[in-house]
Amino acid sequence: DAKTTQPPSMDCAEGRAANLPCNHSTISGNEYVYWYRQIHSQGPQYIIHGLKNNETNEMASLIITEDRKSSTLILPHATLRDTAVYYCIVRGATSGTYKYIFGTGTRLKVLA
Amino acid sequence: GAVVSQHPSRVICKSGTSVKIECRSLDFQATTMFWYRQFPKKSLMLMATSNEGSKATYEQGVEKDKFLINHASLTLSTLTVTSAHPEDSSFYICSAIPQSSYEQYFGPGTRLTVT
C-alpha cells in the first residue's frame, strides 16, 4: 500500500500559486519525500525531493513539516502546462527499498 | 541527462501472441530498472524490479511466466507479455536508477492494445 495520501483533485487559477498537500504520517526517519507529475499519456516527470529541510528548484518548492508527517508542493506561478496528476512518494534510503509505491495522486487542473 | 526511452511507443497485437517492450537508459548505466503498468485514470502499479544480471523480483499478484523480464545489460531491460489477452491492454512504463543515484527516471511509456 502507498505510504502517502493526497486529495484526488484541485483547481488553480493560471498565474496563482498551486499548493498540493501530501500526508505521509508513517514516514521513517531515513525515508525521502519525492514528487513527480504525469501529464496525460506520458511517463512521470521528476519535480523535487527532500528529507527534512525545505527545498526549492526551478520547478517548485517543497515544504516539509517539522515532524515530517506531511509536505506541500508549491508551484509558484501555475501555467496551463502544469495541468497534470501530481504524485507524492515516500522512498527508502537503503538498497532494496528504492522502489516507489504510487498512491492515487492529485489531479491538478490549471484554469485560464 | 538521465533519459530513458521505450520502444515501441504503441503496439497492437492479436490475442494469443507475445509482444516485447524495450526500455533503454540512453546516457547512463542502470543496474536497477522497474516496470509499471497503468490502467486508464488509475495510478501506476509496480509490476517488478529488474536487476542487471539476475532474475527480476515480481510484486505480489504479478505472474512472472506471463510477464517475462530480461535485464541483459546495464542499459537495456525488456518486458515480454506472453500469450497476450485483451485484459493485458494497458500503458506500460519503465524507469531506471542511475548508478550512484537513487532517483528513478521514467520512460515515456508503451501503449499496448490486445485485440
Residue-wise pLDDT tens digits, B96-105: 998 877 789 9
Question: Out of A42, A93, A102, whose CB is closest to B43?
Answer: A102
User: Max Cα separation, chain A?
Assistant: 44
Report pLDDT digits (tens) over A53-62.
Answer: 899 999 999 9
Backbone φ and ψ for A80, nearest 5 degrees, come out as -60, -30
Mean pLDDT for the stretch of residues A63-82: 96
Residue B93 has pLDDT above 80, yes or no: yes
Mean pLDDT for the stretch of residues B40-50: 93
Mean pLDDT for the stretch of residues A57-84: 96
- Measured CA to CA, the distance from residue A109 to residue A8 in angstroms comes to 11
Q: Across the interface, do B104 and A100 touch by the CB < 8 Å criterion?
A: yes
- Measured CA to CA, the distance from residue B14 to residue B27 in angstroms comes to 34
A44 touches chain B (CB under 8 A): yes
Question: Out of B46, B103, B106, whose CB is closest to A43?
Answer: B106
Whether the CB-CB separation of B12 and B73 falls below 8 Å is answered with: no
DSSP string, A28-65: -TT-EEEEEEE-TTS--EEEEEESSS-EE-SS-EEEE-
- Measured CA to CA, the distance from residue B34 to residue B97 in angstroms comes to 9
Return the residue matching grid coordinates 526517519.
A29
What is the edge-to-edge ordering of all strands in the sheet holding A106-111? Answer: A9-13, A106-111, A84-91, A32-38, A45-50
- Measured CA to CA, the distance from residue B72 to residue A50 in angstroms comes to 33
A43 touches chain B (CB under 8 A): yes
Q: Across the interface, do B43 and A103 touch by the CB < 8 Å criterion?
A: yes
- Residue A37 bridge partners (DSSP): A45, A86
Question: Out of B46, B106, B107, whose CB is closest to A99?
Answer: B46
Whether the CB-CB separation of A76 and A61 falls below 8 Å is answered with: yes
Whether the CB-CB separation of A21 and A78 falls below 8 Å is answered with: no
Measure in Å the smallest separation between the Cα of A44 and chain B Cα atoms. 6
Band (pLDDT 50/70/90 cuts) for residue A97 is low
Q: Across the interface, do B43 and A104 touch by the CB < 8 Å criterion?
A: yes
- Measured CA to CA, the distance from residue A62 to residue A46 in angstroms comes to 13
For chains A and B, what is the number of CB pairs under 8 angstroms?
Answer: 52
Residue A1 has pLDDT above 80, yes or no: no
